Homo-oligomer: A and B are copies of this chain.
């Protein structure tokens, strides 16, 4: 939870009664190619807030100056605007040879990934500071921020990406896909440590950390879903969240839209591996 540096919001002084007389105007933002029609149809009706949608990249200013009291980014900022060029270049020291994500095990790879994350987060913060009122709040929810000293490789998300990479390399070995393609494939995703997050926010200077908290995920109780192997790649809803032995596993299959040709086999293989390991 970040506070715009130029003021303080006296949230605590608002009684529940006062809140009931307030109008809440909620704006949902996503990229232009999001399905806003489905978003609108999925909103509850009647609802206790006014809803609107805003298309566009959150790296740009999306609202008039000083017009928002609260901005919330949920499970979005770990997606990078692009994969750092050098990690896919086998002539570079940063070539992400046998991985398809930023595992944190190779410093040469981690550096450009973190540089891209820093650049993206800065653009995000610079856009939000324009839109927020003085004293406005910015809430950022990120999955799998690694604890100090740990590597993304050791987290639930990292474990999942590791498995996904293994599946891809196995499929390349079996001839379903070229090794070159697998080597050139890297997820545009970075899970920063809390320290890295704090460092970028401090260097940006527009916000100050108000509170950092590790949250329980509302879907933590859901069992592993064996139906995961259906080849539904079209929507974000195809992402499944499963839990076993306190390990978070998030299936980011929809990212593989770029690999449609092999996606069905890959998903089956991936689901089989998960079932074998956890069921």
Contacts and interface: CB of A to CB of B under 8 A. Distances in A.
A134 B127 CA distance: 31
Nearest to A22: B64
B32 A64 contact: no
B27 A64 contact: no
Interface string A56-78: 00000111110100000000000
Interface size class of A (residues with CB under 8 A): 20 to 34
A109 to B, nearest CB: 35
Contacts of A52: 27, 52-54
A14 interface: no
A63 B36 contact: no
Interface in A1-37: 23-25, 27, 32, 35-37
A41 interface: yes
Contact of A32 (B41, B61, B65): B41
Contact of A63 (B25, B37, B55, B64): B25
A97 B62 CA distance: 53
A41 B23 CA distance: 29
A40 B50 contact: no
A51 interface: yes
Interface string A261-272: 000000000000
A32 B62 CA distance: 23
Q: Count identical subunits in the complex.
A: 2
A149 to B, nearest CB: 43
Contacts of A40: 32, 36, 55
A54 B23 CA distance: 15
Given A32-B41, A36-B40, A50 B25 contact: no
- A23, A25, A27: most-surrounded residue (chain B CB, <10 A): A23
A146 B65 CA distance: 43
Nearest to A34: B37
Contacts of A35: 37
A14 B32 CA distance: 34
Nearest to A36: B36
Contacts of A27: 52
Contacts of A41: 32
B25 A67 contact: yes
Given A25-B67, A40-B55, A50 B62 contact: yes
Contact of A65 (B23, B61, B65): B23
A41 B33 CA distance: 8
13 contacts: A25-B63, A25-B67, A32-B40, A32-B41, A36-B36, A37-B37, A50-B61, A50-B62, A50-B63, A50-B64, A51-B55, A52-B53, A53-B53
